[in-house]
Amino acid sequence: MSAAEYPGLPAKPGGRWKIWLAIGIIAAITAVTLAPGIGVDFSLDAILRNWRNGTEKIGQLLVPDWSFFPRTIAPLWETIQMAIIASVIGAIVSVPLSMWAARLTNPNPVTRGIVRTLLNIVRAVPDLLYAAVLVAMVGVGALPGIIALVLFNVGIVVKLVSEAIESGDPGPGEAARAAGATQTQINRAALLPDIWPPFINQALYAFELNVRASTVLGLVGAGGLGLLIDAVRTFYRYDQLSLIILEILVVVVLIDWASAVIRKRVK
Amino acid sequence: MTALNTAPRTSRTAPARPVTPPAKPRNPWRVVITVAITVAVILVFWSVKVDWARTVNLPADIARYLWLMFSNPAWDKVPEALWQTWRSVEMAWVGCLLGIVISFPLSFLAARGIGPAPVRFVLRGLFSLIRAVPEIVIAIVILSVTGLTPLTGALALAVNGIGTLGKWGYEAIEGVHPGPIEAVHAAGGSRWQTVRWGIWPQASPEFVSFWLYRFEINVRASAVLGLIGVGGIGDMLTSYTQYREWPTVGALLIVVIIVTVAIDLTSGAIRRRITEGSRVRDLA
């Protein structure tokens, strides 16, 4: 109607049906995911049954058991150690891999494709699943946790750094190529200096994620605070869990702050 | 290389002048910090309770287990694995929706220029508090009320989602171009109308994009939540790992990888379509 009555106005853009289609699909998936039998069981009676007991437990979170603190020091330190070691190993491994995975530093599409596919597969598995499988392979302790974190790190850092390389300036590389440099020389002399800042940035970011991740790896037996979380949760000692959560908060905030300071210096 | 770069210019302008490259910049602090960090890292390596000598055999060991897992995966377990993966994806979906519904209004209240300062302050603190706690710990806390059911997993993901979605949300809102907002103000629009017509049309692609991204995160996280027994593929994977049934573990990992990558690719394609628009229509 508008086009005929108001000749000056353009017609309303079409495609509103797409939004309704999207909403329809979302509603359909939601209906299936909530359907009894095949969906997430949204039964309220279990919640009502557990309500008093459960809220009492959660109330315990508000009164941390400070006397538990001495026992948490060693696992907390192990958590931080795992995060640091995994970040360092992951960072060292990531430098050549990111160069392999980026077009500017590796013009060969075959090797680039292989590295990228492998890393996509590595990234598809969450760190805790790695840890669960690795604990069964190499035994309980910090080692499976470190390996799981390294895999997790390499997945993230290589993806982010290789994207940074691709979006970087091709100029220095072309100049070096024009001067007759081999690909290795180009990477070493012309491109590496540009890669350091994003690399350090992402390595620190991965370190922050590692600290968070390493606190729970112990739940599957991979060392650190998670071992304690597992112990206190089986006894429903939520006052002790509360102290552990507080420690995680403090460590995460401190590490994030330190990492932010370093990153600002790097920029 | 410096000499090569400068040689043509000097030869054209002035008679040959010896080119002395400038001294390398020195930063004593950099040396101090590098040495300090290196020493600290070495200390950490040395002090951790890991028998580094044992790691020599590690590659061979891992290769052996990989062979056990993937040389002959237990394909007969795949239907059960797909069903459990569906349970995990359900958790991810429901958790994502709940997180969206709760975080959506909160992210507006937490944005500068919309919410009152005290509300903003409290909400931002809440978001960062939630983000610092791993979702598996949140699940452990709420399972005392909801029991070991997929609902617990969904709720834990929802709570965690509030932290991330809330933060991304207010950042997106604060990042919009101020022009349309001023235009709505100038036309006499109310606060609600400013949000609806000045902010939302600009911010909506970003919102939809990180809702989808959060779903991708949830798919991974929901697999992990199974480890504490709330059901799904993580649950199945831990039990078979504990029985050391490697062919089944291999099959389960293959299912996890394929499903995760498929969801990532689909969601990524939709996100790109939303944020970049369709190329074809632009050309037409």
Whole-angstrom distance, CA of residue B284 vs CA of residue B282: 6
pLDDT band at A150 (very low <50, low <70, confident <90, very high): very high
Residues of B in contact with A50 (CB under 8 A): 144-147
Q: Is B114 helix (H, G, I), strand (E, B) or coil?
A: coil
pLDDT digits (tens, 9 = 90+) for A62-121: 888 888 888 888 999 999 999 999 999 999 999 999 989 888 888 888 999 999 989 988
- B282 by Cβ neighbours in 10 Å (0-12 / 13-18 / 19+) ranks as exposed
Secondary structure E strands in chain B: none
Q: Does A215 touch chain B (CB under 8 A)?
A: yes
> Do the domain assignments include residue B208?
yes
Is the distance from CB of A229 to CB of A241 less than 8 angstroms?
yes
Residues of chain A contacting B261 with CB distance shorter than 8 Å? 120-121, 124
Say yes or no for a CB contact (<8 Å) between A125 and B244: no
**Residue A230, pLDDT score:** 87
Task: Say if B31 falls within a structural domain.
Answer: no
Rounded Cα distance between A176 and A188, Å, is 10
Interface A-B: count of C-beta contacts within 8 A: 157
| Inside any domain, residue B11 | no
Contacts of B241 in chain A (CB under 8 A): 132-133, 135-136
Is A193 an interface residue toward B (CB < 8 Å)?
no
pLDDT digits (tens, 9 = 90+) for A14-56: 667 888 888 899 899 888 888 877 777 777 777 777 777 778 8
**Looking at the complex, does the CB of residue A68 fall below 8 Å from at least one CB of chain B?**
no
Judging contacts by C-beta atoms under 8 Å, the chain B residues touching residue A220 are: 227, 238
Residue B247 lies in a domain: yes
Task: Give the pLDDT score at B273.
Answer: 84
Closest CA to A143 of A80, A222, A217, A83: A222
Q: Find out whether A34 and B137 touch, Cβ atoms under 8 Å.
A: no
Question: What is the distance between the alpha carbons of residues A219 and A242, in angstroms, rounded to a whole number?
Answer: 16
Say if B269 falls within a structural domain: yes
Q: Distance between CA B130 and CA B122 in Å, rounded?
A: 12
Q: Give residue B112's domain range.
A: 80-283
Q: Domain of B239: which CATH number?
A: 1.10.3720.10
Instruction: Tell me, yes or no, if A146 comes closer than 8 A to chain B by beta carbon.
Output: yes
CB A154, CB A97: distance < 8 Å: yes
Q: What is the pLDDT along chain B (284 residues), one digit of tens a residue?
A: 444 555 555 445 555 667 787 887 777 888 888 898 889 889 888 888 887 877 788 888 888 888 988 888 888 889 999 999 998 999 999 999 999 999 999 999 999 888 888 999 999 999 988 988 888 889 988 888 888 888 888 999 999 999 999 999 999 998 889 999 999 999 998 888 999 889 998 898 889 998 999 999 999 899 888 888 888 898 899 889 888 889 999 999 999 999 999 998 899 888 888 877 766 554 44
pLDDT at B5: 52
Residue A76's nearest CA partner among A216, A206, A257 is A216
Mean pLDDT of A235-256: 88
Contacts of A82 in chain B (CB under 8 A): 48
Q: Do B44 and A85 touch (CB under 8 A)?
A: yes
On the 0-12 / 13-18 / 19+ scale of CB atoms within 10 A, A257 is exposed
**ipTM, 2 dp:** 0.81
* CA dist., res. A144 & res. A220, Å (int): 10
Q: Which of B24, B130, B227, B266 to mutate against chain A (most A CBs within 10 Å)? A: B227
Decide if B77 contacts B252 (C-beta within 8 A).
yes
Q: What is the 3-state secondary structure (H, E, C) of A38-77?
A: CCCCCCHHHHHHHHHHHHHHHHHCCCCCHHHHHHHHHHHH
- Residue A21 DSSP one-character state: H
Query: Is residue B34 assigned to a domain?
Result: no
Contact (CB, 8 A) for B259 and B201: no
Residue B226 placed within a domain: yes
Which of B209, B211, B233, B241 to mutate to probe the A interface, most A CBs <10 Å?
A: B241
What's the Cα-to-Cα distance from A57 to each of A123, B127, B140, B238, rounded to whole Å?
36, 23, 11, 27
* Per-residue confidence (pLDDT) for residue B168, from 0 to 100: 93
The total number of structural domains that make up chain B: 1
CA separation for the pair B92, B222 (Å, rounded): 6
